Structure 1
Amino acid sequence: MSLDSVFRRTFNRLSIAAALALLPLAVLPSSAHADQLADVKKAGELVVGTEMQFAPFDFLEAGKQKGLNAELFEALGQEMGVKIKFLDLPWPSVLPGLEAKKFDVVAGPIIVTKARKERYHFVSPIAEATVALLAGAKDDSISKPEDIAGKTVGAGKGSAQLEELKAFAATLPQKVTIREYVDNNQAYADLAAKRIVAVANSLPNISFVAAQKSNLYKVVQPPFGKKSYFAYLGRKDADADSLIAALDAALTKMHDDGRLAALQKKWLGAEMDVPKGDFEPTW
């Protein structure tokens, strides 16, 4: 860019700022009156950030999005009268992207924790999320969660499942080596290749993987994590309150008329008893 261009751009910015300063306060836009729901309705589109490597909620099949999220958000969009646009992103960038207002809400879904409730505004839960272990189908050395003592286990980078694994590993008599993966499919591939002995993830996720490839994987019972739930979320600010309230109302309607239960059965294998509305997570 030339020095002349820089000068002109700087001058234009200063001119605009000076002009705005001369306007009556009544005609200046006020962020206090911003309304994210109104913006979404005006655009006719709800932009959703997610990671499409999180089956059975979001995954790609022949290059097309599949899973519970796609069908559930389609129904939510119909209830709200807007189209849904998904953005497929590496998981560590999803929450920062939300905070930077790159999209409207996060599909994920994400485990609801006390710390996250202080930072984000959650919609009602859509599924149970208690953390468990996926191990090799023929690995007789892993028959209960405690058997990972002294071994190497994987989990999603930046995930609540990773934090649960770390907390559980700290209670064991031998050190657990933990590998962090940006992509859950990479963790499952390393498990199949015996580079790790188990992957920590939420029960619906690993149950789906084990059902799809029972020759490679098994679910280790019982789950080791604390009882928890998955939910969608948005930013926790006054602008976003109206959008989250509208999503929650639409989801509650689906909960009451049985559509949520039907999607749980289709994608998670069973109907799940989840709280409606606000609730206090256990951790």
Structure 2
Amino acid sequence: MQWLNRIVLAITLSWLAITSQAEPVKLANGEWAPYQSEQLKHGGFISQIISEVFAAEGYQTEFSYMPWKRGFEETKNGKMDGAFIWSKDEERQQHFLFSDPVITLSTSLFQQVGKSISISGPEDLAGKQVGGIIGYNYGTEALEESGKLKIQRIAEAEGNFKKLELGRLDIVLEDTDVGAEQVNRLGLGDKIVANPTTINQRDFYLLISKKSPRAQELVDAFNRGLAKLKADGKLEAYRAASVRGEYKQ
């Protein structure tokens, strides 16, 4: 009967695997054009990457668009399986498993055209009027905690660029590609430019809640699919297509 028990066990494990994959992976998505946005084709190229990576491993994805902070908290509490894309820090590692890096991005310092601002690193931002977004990590946390740097954080980047245009801010911190897209969309390309210096480069990841019953399974599956997609050159191809404007509706 030992052979029969082994067959039953194999069938059971196969059934559990199929059942697990049949349930959609619920992911918190956010507005961060040109990477991810409900207003872009396929939800932006990062959203397309996330869904295709999981699909390559047999999983369907279900995106819920919501404010970043809410998405973070709902994932942290286990209401969502995961969220994307986020950078890594010690506090987040207490609550989430991190995938392999999905993409590496840089943070630019946007300023008024014709204004001379010399910056070699984040410490040179001290004493300046700096704008940022609530909940975003710019790699300036130590300076902020020490009180040497104060970032005026609001909910939407558009407001920061309007303040910058009016001279109410010296610098707006924003991802290089995201900031360029927003400046152009607002028609401020002749008034706002990125400083030649970028303050950091960081990897961004898919977060999976440790409270998800499939946490390790989903991370492992995603990492396998991501390696395949990168090996096929799709990540860079989709990013290039985004730069060409092919994701705009």
* Shorter-chain TM-score tier: 0.7 to 0.9
The structure-2 alpha-carbon separation of the partners of 1:257 and 1:196, relative to structure 1 and needing over 3 Å to count, comes to: same
Among candidates 55, 69, 88, match of residue 112 of structure 1: 88
Residue 228 of structure 1: aligned partner? 202
2:34 equivalent among 51, 56, 64: 56
Matches within 5 A, 1:1-283: 41-43=21-23, 45-52=24-31, 54-61=32-39, 66-107=43-84, 109-136=85-112, 138-144=113-119, 148-161=125-138, 164-168=139-143, 176-210=149-183, 214-225=189-200, 227-236=201-210, 239-267=214-242
Residue type matched to 2:87 in 1? Answer: I
The 3-state SS of whatever aligns with 2:140 is: helix
Mapped partners of 1:65, 1:197: distance in 2: 35
- Confirm or deny: 8 A CA contact 2:108 2:195 kept in the other structure: yes
CA distance in 2, matches of 1:39, 1:181: 42
1:92/1:182 contact within 8 Å kept: no
Partner secondary structure for residue 220 of structure 1: strand
Q: Secondary structure at the match of 1:222?
A: strand
Cα deviation digits, residues 53-99 of structure 1 (max 9, x gap): x122123438x764222321332243133443221111111221002
State how far apart, in whole Å, the 1-side matches of 2:146 and 2:108 are: 16
Counterpart secondary structure, 2:228: helix
CA–CA distance in 2 between the matches of 1:254 and 1:148? Answer: 38
Alpha carbons 1:168, 1:224 under 8 Å: kept = no
Judged with a 3 Å threshold, the aligned counterparts in structure 2 of structure 1 residues 40 and 124 are, in CA distance, closer, same or farther, namely same
Q: Is contact 1:91-1:182 (8 Å) kept? A: no
Give, in whole Å, the separation in 2 of the partners of 1:185 and 1:165: 21
**Contact persistence 2:42–2:48 (CA under 8 A):** no
| 1:186, distance to aligned residue in structure 2 (A) | 3.0
- Give the secondary structure class of the aligned counterpart of 2:75: helix
Q: TM-score, normalised by structure 1?
A: 0.66
Amino acid at match of 1:128: T
- SS at 1:78 equivalent: helix
Q: Structure 1 stretch 122-131 or stretch 205-214: which is displaced more?
A: 205-214
CA distance 1:241–1:190, change in 2 (3 Å): same
Q: Identity over the aligned pairs, expressed in percent?
A: 19
Q: Give 1:202 deviation, angstroms.
A: 3.0
Q: Please report how far the alpha carbon of residue 252 of structure 1 lies from its aligned counterpart in structure 2 after TM superposition.
A: 0.8
The residue that corresponds to 2:7 in the other structure is none
Which residue identity is paired with 1:228?
R
Summarize the Cα distance change of 1:141–1:73 in structure 2 as closer, same or farther, 3 Å threshold: same
Q: Point out where structure 2 has 5 or more consecutive residues left out of the alignment.
A: 1-15, 245-249
Quote the offset at 1:181 in angstroms: 1.7
Q: Distance in 2 between matches of 1:251 and 1:127?
A: 11
- In structure 2, what is the Cα distance between the partners aligned to 1:214 and 1:160? 25
1:208/1:127 CA distance change after superposition, 3 Å: farther
Segments of structure 1 that go 5 or more residues without pairing to the other structure are 1-35, 270-283
Tell me the matched-pair count.
225
Q: Name the SS of the counterpart of 2:167 in structure 1.
A: coil
Change (3 A) 1:89 1:258: same
> Matches of 1:201 and 1:151 in 2, distance apart?
16
> How far apart, in 1, do the equivalents of 2:76 and 2:223 lie?
20
